[in-house]
Chains A and B, each alone.
Chain A
Amino acid sequence: MKTGYFPGCSLHSTAKNYETSTQAVLKKLDVQLEEIPDWNCCGSTPAHQKDHLLALALPARNLALAEQAGMKEVMAPCAACFNHLRTAEIECAKDQETSKKVQGVIEMKYNNTVHVLNILELLVERIGTEAVAKQVKKPLKGLRIAPYYGCMLTRPAKIAQFDDPTNPTSMDRLLGALGADVVPWGAKTECCGAAHILTRPDVVVELSGRIIYEAKDSGADAVATACPMCMSNLDLRQSAMAKATGKEAKVPIMYITELLGMAFNIPQSELGMRKHVVSTASVQAKIS
């Protein structure tokens, strides 16, 4: 299977391990990723907040480039990139006027032929959990994982059009296929505070802290995520959470692709597993 690929800015800087693990895992699953040539930033929350047309045009340039390269589908592992690319896809397809305006702004033709996918969608709906299960060499038996979806994968529902907006299960099924114990918990789709980390770190530490302590209270060995922003808020801020609450945090946060890679027995050097602030050694020890 071949699919278009939009890595996004984070996967090329702070989330390199998300990119390396995504590539390694999809290779094992026989998926060839074709990167959109010369892609640009999707504009993320700042473009969304600043100007609606800009927020459509920045992702649309990528969709137009993908279309030129003959891609029918584009997978974006970053939940935020997925959300913003999908917004452009949907709004251009829905309304001719919008599409014309956007094409005028990007000065490129775009015929609305590209469909945007998130990584869970690719893994669960295109590849399927059975094909994933077939690649498992080292089941994650006894490993208690709390699946964390955050906001951008499933909401707003009319944009994401994926899974259930407040009780999604696709990551649960994926973890099940790896043999992990999926932890039922209450913070699956809570907000980590996202981009407010740069302007209101106090609020983000509190919101992310709620998620971390909920995972801890539910007995999770680790939290699984598919979003670089969530990863950085949840992983990097645990010392601040502990300082604010007086309670130790220390919950390893793993990209879903790192867990897939471990179960597929892909060498850790290929997965980039050392790039975590909270050590993932306890997770690795439990399954080896």
Chain B
Amino acid sequence: MKVWLEEKHSLLEEIEARSGQKVQECYQCSKCSGGCPFSRVMDYAPNSILEMIVYGMKDQLLSSKAIQMCIQCGICGAQCPAGFEMYEVMNVLRAMAKEEGYISHETKIPKMNNIFLGEVKNNGRMHEVNLMVKNMLSQGELVRDVAALIPIGPPMFLKGIMGFGDVLPHKIKGQAAVAKIFENVEKMQGGHA
């Protein structure tokens, strides 16, 4: 029992310190969850996450889908009567999960992020066609994804939203400098980046 209490305490303290948000001041009114566009597809709604922090449920929190789904749209913060910025807590939880090597129940988003950032590292810019193709190939739902593209792909070409010139990526001159940024961040974060 004693151990559990200490654990619970340190999690709350760490998150409050890193996020600058006083988790314990949340009223649990759940306005944030009502406004969050993704709360119904999250495993834990934003207000529940705050409660789980108080209860010290670290493993569930750090492997949750919810923390990977938050895109910092800021609706939670704009609607909170306590002036609480929920997304800051999401950001800290996601950073902790990475630092401590947690595997998330949400696998697609981290995979897509890595593909996106790989494009940026290798070219200096994001290349939309490469991103779409590589993401489709890696997510294992090729049939669904190609089917979803059928009504979109041809009109995109026809209307010139995408041209054949967009199919090949082009590198910026400073590509090496951008790749170096990735390497430096990696080094500084001790391999956790």
Q: Which residues of A are in contact with B by a Cβ distance under 8 Å?
A: 9-10, 12-14, 16, 38-41, 43-54, 57-58, 61, 101, 104-107, 151-152, 155-158, 165-166, 189-191, 193-196, 198-201, 203, 207, 236-237, 239-240, 272, 274-277
With A194-B73, A236-B152 as contacts: A40 and B174 at CB distance below 8 Å: yes
Number of A-B contacts (CB under 8 A): 177
Q: Are B161 and A275 in contact (CB under 8 A)?
A: yes
Q: Are the C-beta atoms of B152 and A105 separated by less than 8 Å?
A: no
Size of B's binding interface in residues, CB under 8 A: 63
Once the chains bind, are B156 and A43 in contact (CB under 8 Å)? no
Indicate which residue in A105, A166, A201, A275 contacts B78 across the interface (CB closer than 8 Å).
A166
> 16 extra interchain contacts, Cβ-Cβ under 8 A, other than A43-B120, A157-B78, A277-B152?
A9-B126, A47-B117, A49-B68, A49-B71, A53-B188, A54-B181, A61-B174, A107-B180, A155-B78, A191-B37, A193-B37, A195-B71, A199-B139, A239-B152, A275-B161, A276-B159
Given A13-B162, A196-B69, CB of A41 within 8 Å of CB of B41: no
Task: From B7-15, B43-51, B53-61, B105-113, give the one contacting chain A.
Answer: B105-113
> DSSP majority for the B interface?
helix
State whether A48 touches B72 (Cβ < 8 A).
Answer: yes
Contact A40–B124 (Cβ < 8 Å):
yes
Chain B residues in 8 Å Cβ range of A274: 159-160
**Using Cβ atoms and an 8 Å threshold, which residues of chain B touch A155?**
73-75, 77-78
Q: Are B95 and A52 in contact (CB under 8 A)?
A: yes
Q: Is B101 an interface residue (CB 8 A)?
A: no
Docked complex Cα distance between A45 and B98 (Å):
16
Q: How far is the CB of A106 from chain B (nearest CB, A)?
A: 6
- Distance to closest chain A CB from B150 (angstroms): 10
Question: Does A50 lie within 8 Å of B181, measured CB to CB?
Answer: no
